Structure 1
Amino acid sequence: MKRFVAVALAATAFATPAFAQDDAAFTGPRVEAIVGYDNVGVPGASNPDGVLYGVGVGYDFEEAGGIFGVEAELTDSTTKKTIGGAKLESDRDIYVGARVGDVVGPVLLYVKVGYTNARIDVDGDGSNGNGVRGGIGFEYGIGAKGYAKAEYRYSNYEGGVTRNQAVMGFGYRF
């Protein structure tokens, strides 16, 4: 039993520097391409869905054993539907927010929250809606600087409009 405890302590001591190196792989400036499923909830109507696509930028840093970051996105969507003669179209979405996460093995697990502004166009009126987005996701490092990510996020806009999205992203850290 003593031998087992000694081996476990030695393994922990040698593994700790390796975890520190893994954290560094998820820090610094980044740029990414995003694609995924988009579902817009409109009060009193069935929810139209489509494909979301866009780009994002961010900066992550390590502090107190966690990964903290700021990020921004610009996306567009193919989400369209005709409701009672009115044409609903989900156009661009701007997001600015923050995230916090932890590295578990080769994966960064994180949660995010921030401000979002979407254009939900009804018959060409070009309406903009301010809202809040929350989400959860993970990143997996590919090579020295690349990464892939998967994320679920929920946005709640003015007027009871909501948005559920499941996205994948591929990015590069500088």
Structure 2
Amino acid sequence: MGTSAAAQDDQVNNGGFRVEALAGWDRVDLSLDEDTDFEGNDSGIFYGAAVGYDLPAGPVMVGVEAEVSSSTTGEKETVEDFDVDGSIYDGTISLSDGFNWYLGGRLGVWASESTAFYGKVGYAWTTVDLDATGTVDGVAGSDSADLNFSGFRFGAGVEQKLSNSAYAKIEYRYTDYSEGEVEYQGDTLDFGDALEFVDLERHQVVAGVGFRF
């Protein structure tokens, strides 16, 4: 009787609301479809938080989740004597990762009372901050713009119970950004068509610790 009740408690707690703290490795790859020689990438530290809900579906894991995150990925270049419509720019141009959002679902199976394997799919949005600081024809100044990208994310992972309510997980995610726009001085310009010729992808290996309620 006691063993049966404990098993039911474990089964019930496979579902419900959950919160997570996340950290891991993040890499962004950029390449041109027509030019295999042109490619760039940058890696950094990923950090974020997530909330979700899993249905109490017995040995099957079915859930939805939402996530907010950022990372240390970015680039910074120094420019000298750069001609912009007849004006000469000297200074630095930097790209840095802003906030990233994700909304999706996951489907998996509990291989045992404490271990689950799952796949996930959803949609991701990311913001890249573009900043320029320097001089134009000798006059100091700065400017900035936001680059927004979105696309589908796919992933797979394993989750391990640490207690009746706490758990840890590790997963791999792949994101393919297919839509984009730039926001500058109150105006928005869509450049999603350009992403038909440019591959912008993200690879992440993320570990998390969470609690169910």
Q: TM-score, normalised by structure 1?
A: 0.82
**2:16–2:56 contact (8 Å) kept in structure 1:** no
1:42-69 deviation line (CA, Å, top 9, x unaligned): 2344211101101000000133741100
Identity across the alignment (%): 37
1:64-91 deviation line (CA, Å, top 9, x unaligned): 7411000000001111123685422222
- For residues 169 and 95 of structure 2, the distance between their equivalents in structure 1, rounded to whole angstroms, comes to 30
**1:66–1:102 contact (8 Å) kept in structure 2:** yes
- For residues 136 and 19 of structure 1, the distance between their equivalents in structure 2, rounded to whole angstroms, comes to 26
Structure 1 pair 20–154 and aligned structure 2 pair: CA distance change class (3 A)? farther
Q: Give the superposed CA RMSD.
A: 2.3
Report the count of equivalent residues.
160
| Matched letter for residue 109 of structure 1 | F
Partner of 2:51: 57
Instruction: Specify which of 9, 12, 16 is matched with residue 28 of structure 1.
Output: 16
Partner of 2:106: 99
Q: Structure 2: 5+ residue runs without aligned partners?
A: 32-37, 80-92, 132-143, 179-194
Higher-strand-fraction structure: 2
1:117 deviation in Å? 0.3
Alignment of 1:117-128 (within 5 A): 117-123=125-131, 124-128=144-148
Higher-helix-fraction structure: 1
Q: Structure 1: 5+ residue runs without aligned partners?
A: 1-14
- For residues 111 and 127 of structure 2, the distance between their equivalents in structure 1, rounded to whole angstroms, comes to 37
Over alpha carbons, which structure has the higher Rg?
A: 2
- For residues 165 and 7 of structure 2, the distance between their equivalents in structure 1, rounded to whole angstroms, comes to 17
Alignment of 1:2-17 (within 5 A): none
Instruction: Specify which of 106, 112, 116 is matched with residue 120 of structure 2.
Output: 112
Q: TM-score, normalised by structure 2?
A: 0.68
